[in-house]
Amino acid sequence: MAFPPRSVRSLLPAAALLLSAAIPALLPAVPQAPPETRRAEIVAPGIEHIEIRRGDFSAEAGAERWLIHVLVLDPRRTRLVSALALDEIAGAETVSSLAARYGAPAAVNGGYFRTTGVTKGEPTGAYAAAGKVLSEPNGPRMETAVSNAGAMTRVAFAQLDVRMRAVPDGGEGRTIDGVNRSREDGELVIFTPEFHRTTLTPPGGLEILIRAGRVAESRDGPGSAAIPPDGYVLSASGTAREWAHDLLAPGRGIRIETDTKTSPPLPFDPEWIVGAGPLLVRAGAALGVEESDREGFAADFGRSRHPRTALGVRGDGSIVLATVDGRQPRLSAGMTIPELAGLMTGLGCREAINLDGGGSTTMVIGGKVVNNPSDTAGERPVSDAWLVLLRGPISSN
């Protein structure tokens, strides 16, 4: 084997040293994971609370710091229950108040809702309880479905499609445009006893009170009709008002036809379906802002950092509830939707969904709010909450 001359051999170590020093500069920098501390505690049998501080907390304020609270639930020892604020659709109540009323060891905020007006607290997406639709879905957004039947609590995520028609005896039926929500011009909206004592509608529409499958009363003009506890109200305006006026005379029989389906089909009969979105994790893979766009959220919704609340499921069925504080530079920056998806996969979730966030983001444990809501007024009254209960009977005080 031939060797290079001695003069060349003497240069080789120095050249190798120079090359080894240059290689790191040529390679892309590997991002370093932010520092993180965790503190865990058992809240109750089957309920673990983990506080995560991620990022640099040494400075007075910083853009890369996060305060995260996580609940990990044993699905065989706990139940996940949706509770409506004030026990009705048109109401708002804090998560801590709901948790106290039901004796829940832990709770987080739930779905999206109307934040102003006479129907403040009204869900702006799907809400169904025990198979009864109490609020229609909001377009293509994903929903959270929960069942506590059998030996364990199960959670799944799907799109809900609801089609309802009011069909008078011997007459032409009409599509129902909305359920338990503010009536717009030309719409037919159904109000059930779960909504409120009255319809809270303004004057100018026609409201048909139904009892025992028959028209009991027709009220033209005054608005805010009392909802029969054993029936419902059809509220109409515009072309819908003309239909109701012509076909729904007192004494006439009427039925409501409802067709609901989910995509994908749910693997169980849900006790609750609550509007949420966008989906964060599917089959173990974190989703990006494309999913947020597909579900019809505003362009900057998923791309900006905000306080967030999320719900996920691990491969063994364990349920994960997480809150991320935000809009508070001294404390926590909030997360984008892709960052939240990454958090949920990092917590072991195979499936996960984003819940209402912003000023609504709240986690209550043992009667105390453990996170830091971003509203200057403190804890925000919300439409509904996911309550964590130990397995056994529940009751509202």
User: Quick one: average pLDDT of 97-120?
Assistant: 97
Domains of the chain by residue range: 36-160+261-390, 170-252
pLDDT value, residue 396: 52
User: Quick one: average pLDDT of 213-220?
Assistant: 97
pLDDT value, residue 371: 98
Look at the chain and count its residues. Answer: 397
pLDDT value, residue 6: 45
Query: Per residue in 250-290, pLDDT tens?
Result: 999 999 999 999 999 999 999 999 999 999 999 999 999 99
Question: Any idea which of 62-66, 221-225, 227-231, 349-353 has the lowest mean pLDDT?
Answer: 62-66
CB 212 within 8 A of CB 160: no
- Answer whether residue 27 shows pLDDT above 90: no
Count of Cβ atoms closer than 10 Å to residue 100 Cβ? 14
Please state, for a pLDDT cut of 90, what percent of the chain lies above it. 87
- Going by pLDDT thresholds of 50, 70 and 90, the confidence category of residue 5 is very low
pLDDT value, residue 29: 59
How far is Cα 144 from Cα 134, in angstroms, rounded to an integer?
15
Cβ neighbours for 34, distance < 8 A, ≥ 6 positions apart: 54, 55, 56, 64, 65
- Answer whether residue 162 shows pLDDT above 80: yes
- Answer whether residue 133 shows pLDDT above 60: yes
Query: Per residue in 54-102, pLDDT tens?
Result: 998 887 767 789 999 999 999 999 999 999 999 999 999 999 999 999 9
How far is Cα 373 from Cα 9, in angstroms, rounded to an integer?
68
The answer to whether the pTM exceeds 0.85 is yes
pLDDT value, residue 11: 44
Query: Per residue in 188-211, pLDDT tens?
Result: 999 999 999 999 999 999 999 999
Question: What is the chain's mean pLDDT, rounded?
Answer: 92
- Going by pLDDT thresholds of 50, 70 and 90, the confidence category of residue 17 is very low
